[in-house]
Amino acid sequence: MEDCIFCKIVDGRLPAKKVYEDELIIAIEDISPVAPVHLLLIPKRHFVNSLDMQVSDRELVGHIFLVAAEIARSKGIAENGFRIVNNNNAGAGQSVFHIHFHLLAGRTFTWPPG
């Protein structure tokens, strides 16, 4: 999409610190981290959030969780624990309307989330 920040990062129109890429997704460092490790896993295909997901995206979302777990292992944060967060719509904190999954680690997290 023309004016989407994450589409621009996916196709190289905007810079980002990319830590992973394959044919389906990229993972980048969040520009405004809220934890010592704060990555965003972003599908290359633009869709808004889980409300906009198609049946054909079923495997894609599973793939994202597998990659997140692999990144967590490779960064040595798996054992202590990490969070995968997906905000859906503004009331839940979504500010970029191209679906993405936050991978957060490196500090203690509280529950319930804020």
Active site residues: 100
Angle at 49 between CA 18 and CA 100, to 5 degrees: 15
**98 contact, one of Zn ion, ligand AMP, none, CB 5-8 Å limit per kind:** Zn ion
Q: Which residues bind ligand AMP (CB under 6 A)?
A: 5, 14, 16, 28, 30-32, 40, 87, 93-96
Which residues pair with residue 41 across a beta bridge? 27, 101
HSE of 24, CA atoms in CB hemisphere, 13 A: 15
Query: In 3D, which of 12, 70, 1 has the Cα closest to residue 41?
Result: 70
Site for Zn ion in 66-85 (CB under 5 A): none
Q: Which stretch binds Zn ion (CB under 5 A): 19-27, 38-46, 48-56, 78-86?
A: 38-46
User: Does 4 help bind Zn ion (rule: CB under 5 A)?
Assistant: yes
